[in-house]
Chain A
Amino acid sequence: MAITAIKPQKENEQARKPLARADTQFNIVARRFRRHRLAMVSLLVLGVILVASILAKQISPFERDYLNVESAAKFLPPLSRSPETGAMHWLGTNQIGQDLFTRLVYAARISLTTAMLATTLSTLVGTILGTLAGYFRGILDSVIQRVIDFFSNLPQLPILLILTAVLVTDPRLIPIPTFVIKFLQAIMLFDQEREARVVAALILILTLLGWTGVARLMRGQVLQVRERDFVEGARALGANSLAIITRHIVPNAFPPVIVAFTLGLAASLTAETGLSFLGVGIQNPVPTWGICWPLPRAICSSGRICH
């Protein structure tokens, strides 16, 4: 009797032990992430880039646009000292004697912020329009669908090239509120308002051409979720459309959009660097990852685009 009384208790305790550790969602995700070696390496690399770009002003040995006339056209090798101030050129200098490390760090800050803002905006627009199209259907849906079709049938790079070339160079063509300009100027450490204006225009153009993928994805998801029982339940309980959309549909339809966001981040970054490299996006002397390439003398001298 006594033995049988104790035994189940022990078993119960053992069975309860893993439960007692109270795994939160975050813990589970973090543990799975830590086991993934490639993910950890990527996180480390991203972390270094992120910290460097946040501390751009503090860790860079030179001013962003500082150029030394003496070291111009000399292509100083990495780890050489500046003939003027004696500060270290960690990565050497480019063809007009600018410090490559400084440029690279600032470029990280500018390129990453641009890509992040463009992707966030286009995900936001795509989510809203996709949800509206999927939830209300009808005329609104077919109008949004036509617009999505229109944008996704465009040849991306040529259109992007033409739009950017025209709209970015003349800041009056896209009116941008002053507080947005001030905000961009603050986070990208721009001295001049003009530079922030160009970046803002570029972000808007990338958004204009980038929202359709998310909208299409979100529409499909919402079409599925809106037929589920809990949506019907919410409606039966008297919830209005706004509550159903924000409380029930969007949270349940959102996970694929997160994946689309991460992929969109890469696409925006590629588009921005490509445009800036071609000379129509963000313009020299503002460094971005499309502009700050350390091109060697042999390539620079043969008369091509060389920033």
Chain B
Amino acid sequence: MVNFLIRRFVAMIVMFLVITFVAYNVLSLAPGGPLQELMQQQQNSANRLDPFALERVMQRYEFDIDLIPRYTRWLVGQPDGPLNLFGQEMFGATQVGCLRKGETIFKYPDGRVVVSDCEVPVYLNDLKGRAVSKGILALDFGTSQGVLRGRPVSEVLNSRIGLTLLLQGISSLLALAIAVPLGIYTAVKQYSKLDYATTTVAFLGSSLPSLFWGLMGLLVFAVLFKQWGLPYFPAGTFVSNTPQTVPLIGVIEPESFADRAWHLILPILILTFVSLSGWIRYIRASVLEVLKQDYVRTARAKGLTERAVILKHAVRNALIPFITLVVTILPGLVAGAIITETIFSLPGVGNLLVAAIYGSDYNVAMAVLLLSVVLTLIAYVLADILYTVADPRIRLR
């Protein structure tokens, strides 16, 4: 077990490094970037930007540094100057980037000719005294470059994560609370009327994406209900600006608790419905599988009550697929509702990720990605540990 955990931990670190490095590089391949706006201003003669100002901005966003040092600076805040060994500064003249591109030809006295495509190179010495984040490992995600330019990413994340946690937390708990009993019940009472009804609804819910249900929910409960004079839900956003009069419910004051709840009910219901539908089918199938086993028949033959047979013998053995399912809630807590948040224009993390991608805010996008990668990795280890709890025959080595 300890061996297993250590090995998994090492594998997790390797995966984490590979994913973040690839993602960091991919993002810096993106056209545009935070500088795009400035570049466009450059072309406009009335609003000409001083080239040195542009270079200062490049330095500010570290676009003058090569990818690998930029990545390590993002990751651990190093290198932040020449290497300091025993009080001696070393490798200060190593080139780590390029501020201004352009061809320069060096002709050395000994006859060598070196062509460099960099006019103003950046050396390790130049990094001394530059502002640098403390690195991801110290939970410093750097500075936002687009969504809230100049503010720390952690601040941006903090302002968004609460809503997503609330949405995903409530909807996952609700879905679990409904799906588990209903899944078990429909498996035990197979071919009953409730089973048929549940299976049909679950089939619809799981075969159409959340995109469909979100838009249909908006159309029916926000638009049509309002037209018909029924109690309706707002068509998105998080708070209302003015008191809203809803038929049969009354006046909802802006920014009150009722207002928040009124705005969140519809997205929560839709998230719940979509995950619920998948889970019911899953749980029903795994319990059905177990109910056919010989040991369930044996348990019945021993004269155990039906309750004991189902709860102690059947459900216990159907736990393994169920665990796989429950741990997927964890990574979903950060970026699991991207589409729903976008449909309802809720200021959550998913919406933030989309905004960061549109606005070329790589630090924010990387932070969101990082959180969901870490949570995914943790979720899988957690699942492996829970398997041993549910089934003592499984040994982790």
Contact = CB atoms under 8 A, between A and B. Distances in A.
Interface string A178-221: 00000000000000000000000000000000000000000000
A296 B224 CA distance: 10
A280 B19 CA distance: 21
Contacts of B211: 270, 273-274, 277, 290
Contact of B369 (A158, A270, A278, A303): A158
Q: How large is the interface on A (under 10, 10 to 19, 20 to 34, 35 or more residues)?
A: 20 to 34
B18 interface: yes
Contacts of B219: 296, 299
B235 A299 contact: yes
B222 interface: yes
Given A163-B26, A165-B357, A295-B215, A158 B368 contact: yes
B339 A159 contact: no
Pick the most buried of A155, A166, A277, A298: most chain B CB atoms within 10 A of its CB. A155
B338 A165 contact: no
Contacts of A296: 219, 223
Contacts of B357: 161-162, 165, 280
Interface in B181-232: 207, 209, 211, 215, 218-219, 222-223, 226
A173 B345 CA distance: 31
B331 interface: yes
Give the secondary structure class of A's interface. helix
Pick the most buried of A150, A162, A163, A266: most chain B CB atoms within 10 A of its CB. A162
Contacts of B336: 157
Given A153-B380, A298-B222, A166 B338 contact: no
Contacts of B235: 298-299, 302
B215 A153 contact: no
B376 A166 contact: no
Interface in B7-60: 15, 18-19, 23, 26-27, 29-31
A150 B11 CA distance: 10
B338 A158 contact: yes
Give the secondary structure class of B's interface. helix
A150 B18 contact: yes
B369 A159 contact: yes
B85 to A, nearest CB: 36
Interface string B355-366: 001100000010
B342 A305 contact: yes
A105 B335 CA distance: 32
A46 interface: no
B236 interface: yes
B373 interface: yes
A154 B16 CA distance: 10
Q: How large is the interface on B (under 10, 10 to 19, 20 to 34, 35 or more residues)?
A: 35 or more
A295 B345 CA distance: 14
A254 B388 CA distance: 32
A159 to B, nearest CB: 7
Contacts of A302: 235-237, 345
A293 B380 CA distance: 36
Contacts of B354: 161, 278-280
Given A302-B235, A302-B345, A161 B353 contact: yes
Interface string A140-183: 00000000001001110111011101110110010000000000
Interface string A120-138: 0000000000000000000
A304 interface: yes
B372 interface: yes
Contacts of A166: 26-27, 29-30
B30 to A, nearest CB: 4
Given A154-B373, A154-B376, A161-B353, A299 B223 contact: yes
B345 A304 contact: yes
Pick the most buried of A163, A170, A278: most chain B CB atoms within 10 A of its CB. A278
B15 A150 contact: yes
A165 B338 CA distance: 14
A27 B217 CA distance: 43
Contacts of B338: 157-158, 161, 274, 278
Interface in A271-292: 273-274, 277-280, 290
A180 B26 CA distance: 24
A182 to B, nearest CB: 25
A32 B211 CA distance: 34
A153 B153 CA distance: 25
Interface string A58-76: 0000000000000000000
Nearest to A273: B211
A166 B18 CA distance: 18
Interface of B: 15, 18-19, 23, 26-27, 29-31, 207, 209, 211, 215, 218-219, 222-223, 226, 235-237, 331, 335-336, 338-339, 342-343, 345, 353-354, 357-358, 365, 368-369, 372-373, 375-377, 380
Closest 8 CB pairs of A and B: A155-B372, A166-B30, A165-B357, A170-B31, A270-B209, A304-B345, A298-B223, A158-B335
21 contacts: A150-B19, A153-B377, A154-B376, A155-B373, A155-B375, A155-B376, A158-B372, A162-B23, A162-B26, A162-B369, A169-B30, A170-B31, A273-B211, A280-B354, A290-B211, A298-B223, A299-B219, A299-B235, A302-B235, A303-B345, A305-B342
